[in-house]
A = this chain, B = another copy of it.
Amino acid sequence: MYKKAEIIKNVELYKFGNPIKTDAVIISVDIEKFKLGNSIEGIELEKGDNSFKIKYNLDDSAKIYGLGEAVGSLNRRGKVYKTYATDDFDHTPGKEALYGAHPFLIIDNGTEKIGIFIDYSGEIIFDVAFSDKKILEIEISDLNFDMYIFKNSNYSEITKKYLELTGKSYVPPKWAFGYQQCRWSYPDSKTIKEVAGNFKKYDIPVDTIYMDIDYMKDFKVFTVDEGKFPDFKNFVKEIKDMGIKLIPIVDPGVKIESEYNVYEDGIENNYFCKNQNGEDFVAAVWPGKTHFPDFLNSKVRKWWGAQYKKLIDLGIEGFWNDMNEPAIFYTPEGLKKAFEKLNEISLKDDIGIYDMFALNEVMNSISNNRDDYKSFYHTLDNGEKILHDKVHNLFGFNMTRAASEGFDEINPDKRFLIFSRSSYAGMQRYGGIWYGDNKSWWEHILLSIKMAISVNLIGFLYSGADIGGFGENASAELLIRWSQAALFMPLYRNHSALGTRNQEPWAFDEGTREILREIIRIRYMFLPYIYSEYMKAINEKRGYINALFTKFNDENVYEIEDQFLVGENLMAAPIYEQNSTGRYVYLPETNWLQWNLSKEKLRDVKIIDKGYHYIKSKIEETAIFIKENSLVVIGEVQNFVGEKKEDSLTIIGFVEDRANYCYYNDDGVSKEYEKGEYIKIDIEIISKDNDYEIKISKEGNYKHNIREINFEIYNSKESWNKRIILK
């Protein structure tokens, strides 16, 4: 039934049929290592005519995590999910698929944990103990796929193995951890200057401003509308001189328009996806009718990657790849069929309610229609034609791969900001993701927390939700609480849709603006910690935002889906309910230091016992928690990353006995850190009688400029401060 090999220690590959290579996995196996097999212990295999079912019996207490970007509870048990990249702007609880397809999950049967990764790029349905509460059933819509089984007792170890298999996560430039401002749309340079000016006027730190679809000339990818953005290169520089980078959107659909060079290039070189007649496939998206580049082909990727140079040459250093499920508004064929049906109905003498329902069905099936995804083809490097539907989930993956590989060509040592809406397992190597078109719903703050935890389990570390919500209208309170909830998320971007209420920090009242300003300043204050923890997590192949159950051996933490660890030692427990000035928090294992953040300089801290608590936080307060015997690091607030020297660090900690912190830094912009150009400063504090010993050691070649380290240490008896000047 399958061929089997141990691919790395404790990870087995089961090869069913003859799957196409998705490139999710970076480790190849010697064909001679394979053995034939027919059954897998504990797993029922059921081969159908065109699909394959995998069944796994679950204990009553079994928990199931994974599936990356998905709506619902973190423990996936009790719902059906589907991996089929879907542009859906309505993330309601029942939705089975979103933009990303991450067919990986972890079954926790108590001590034993089993990871299952189905490397198949078409539709997979995961019935996670929904139809039958004791059975996990995975239905793969093909007979050809790879299945990897991970066995380990530890969540982090499974993530680590998974990342050994699928590749180390993407590292953005350090400025990508600053505050980012987006809107659909800031349509011209005048508006962007105003926005940038407001940040300066109100003294609010910011690192980027986004350019949504309207910056392009007629939505033509890799063009800039010169009418709205005259002398774009100079404009980019002007904004950059304020410390702000402009981040344009990039969509895959290439407008069908003669004399448009991307289109002409693509036609000339046969770079577009084909329909069954071998003609270029036509789908309408923002620019109207377009062709889709065939990203599965390496020549096309190379060509596409080189296109980014057009914008890079104008001073651009970051991009977001959108619409790459690929979203389809309609195809001419689909629309024709729909209109035929509409006409048929409209000509009836008496239109009845069932006609009406049919009408609705017709309309609802025009966009993102599965039949359209079944009507076009890719041409692989070996010349093989493959139906899009079978590799649907690889489209966004390969678009972003094209960008990433392009950057490597254009400027190999430079880090670019790149993140994508659609993704597949392994895409973490090339860029980050954002969670797509959420809404200004309180429920979506909580969802963004669960998503962050879940995508971190599979290496999508650079990620985040649109703060304040993309669709619908945000209240001031919602935006404040969301900005607090996202305080430690790598991608810290406020974004909102056309037609909704503005949600820049100054779009509300003055009081709200001041609170948001302080939150953003606190974000910058924590950048040394955020960056340090992020880079260590990347290098050690683990999550940066982590569920409590990945760290604490405590039955109570399994059901906690609204608290999370940032790195190793800091716990966040955001408020995500309207009109709330408090929430319940569980503190596992030890005592914790509670820190109510509200102003940069204010240390409103206290030690609280382990266990269940109700923690009050006024609208301007964000409570965070530092574990006993651990340290965090903060720095000076900057108006943008790199504004200041970053030469003074402050270590804040809760030390009863001993604690250490490894501070990581590098230049933040190049890839030299891969060659040893980084610094790790290991700081250890040991409590001795009524005194403390501080040990500081360093590793790495990066010429850091840290001049002094300040200490603010708390314990149950006292607090103390100390300043150490570094040689």
Interface residues of A (CB under 8 A from B): 63, 72-73, 75, 77-80, 90, 92-94, 130, 132-134, 284-286, 288-289, 329-330, 332, 335, 339, 342-343, 346, 350-353, 356, 359-360, 363, 366, 439-443, 472-473, 475-478, 508-509, 512, 559, 561, 577-582, 584, 586, 612-614
Contact = CB atoms under 8 A, between A and B. Distances in A.
A475 B130 CA distance: 6
B441 A472 contact: no
Contacts of A339: 342, 346
A288 B335 CA distance: 27
Nearest to A134: B509
Contact of A584 (B130, B477, B612): B612
Nearest to A478: B78
A353 B288 contact: yes
Contacts of A343: 343, 346
Contacts of A579: 63, 73, 75, 77-78, 559
Given A285-B353, A356-B284, A584-B612, A476 B75 contact: no
Given A288-B353, A346-B339, A356-B366, A133 B476 contact: yes
A476 B339 CA distance: 42
Given A288-B353, A559-B580, A578-B78, A443 B443 contact: yes
Contacts of A478: 78
B356 A440 contact: no
B92 A475 contact: no
A551 B459 CA distance: 50
Contacts of A329: 353, 356
A614 B588 CA distance: 14
Contact of A353 (B80, B284, B350, B351): B284
A351 B337 CA distance: 14
A584 B584 CA distance: 7
A79 B476 CA distance: 10
A392 B477 CA distance: 33
B353 A286 contact: yes
A546 B274 CA distance: 63
Given A93-B439, A284-B351, A288-B353, 14 more contacts: A77-B578, A78-B578, A92-B92, A94-B440, A94-B472, A133-B476, A284-B353, A286-B353, A330-B351, A342-B346, A359-B363, A559-B579, A584-B614, A612-B612
A353 B335 CA distance: 11
21 contacts: A72-B578, A75-B578, A78-B475, A78-B478, A79-B578, A92-B439, A93-B441, A93-B443, A94-B473, A130-B475, A133-B508, A133-B509, A284-B353, A284-B356, A339-B346, A342-B342, A356-B366, A359-B366, A360-B363, A559-B577, A559-B581
A512 B284 contact: no
Given A133-B512, A509-B133, A79 B475 contact: yes
Given A359-B363, A559-B581, A288 B72 contact: no
A92 B472 CA distance: 11
What 6 pairs across the A-B complex have the smallest Cβ distances? A93-B441, A73-B578, A339-B346, A584-B584, A75-B579, A78-B475
A568 to B, nearest CB: 25
Contacts of A289: 350
A580 B476 CA distance: 31
A282 B581 CA distance: 51
B443 A73 contact: no
Which interface residue of A332, A476, A508, A509 has the most chain B CB atoms within 10 A? A476
A31 to B, nearest CB: 42
Contacts of A335: 351, 356
Given A477-B133, A579-B77, A288 B352 contact: yes
A453 B288 CA distance: 49
Which interface residue of A288, A330, A509, A579 has the most chain B CB atoms within 10 A? A579
Contact of A330 (B63, B356, B443, B476): B356
Contacts of A612: 584, 612-614
A398 B132 CA distance: 46
Contacts of A330: 351, 356
A350 B284 CA distance: 11
A74 to B, nearest CB: 9
A473 B284 CA distance: 33
Nearest to A332: B351
Contacts of A440: 94
A233 to B, nearest CB: 30
Contacts of A582: 559
Contacts of A90: 92
Contacts of A363: 359-360, 363
A359 B343 CA distance: 14
A639 to B, nearest CB: 28
A539 B54 CA distance: 60
A285 B581 CA distance: 46
Which interface residue of A94, A366, A512 has the most chain B CB atoms within 10 A? A94
A558 to B, nearest CB: 9
Nearest to A64: B579
A336 to B, nearest CB: 9
Which interface residue of A286, A440, A559 has the most chain B CB atoms within 10 A? A559
A441 B73 CA distance: 11
Contacts of A132: 509
A346 B330 CA distance: 13
A464 B50 CA distance: 45
A343 B344 CA distance: 11
A610 to B, nearest CB: 13
A185 to B, nearest CB: 15
Contacts of A475: 78-79, 130, 133
A582 B584 CA distance: 13
A474 to B, nearest CB: 10
Contacts of A134: 509
Contacts of A285: 353
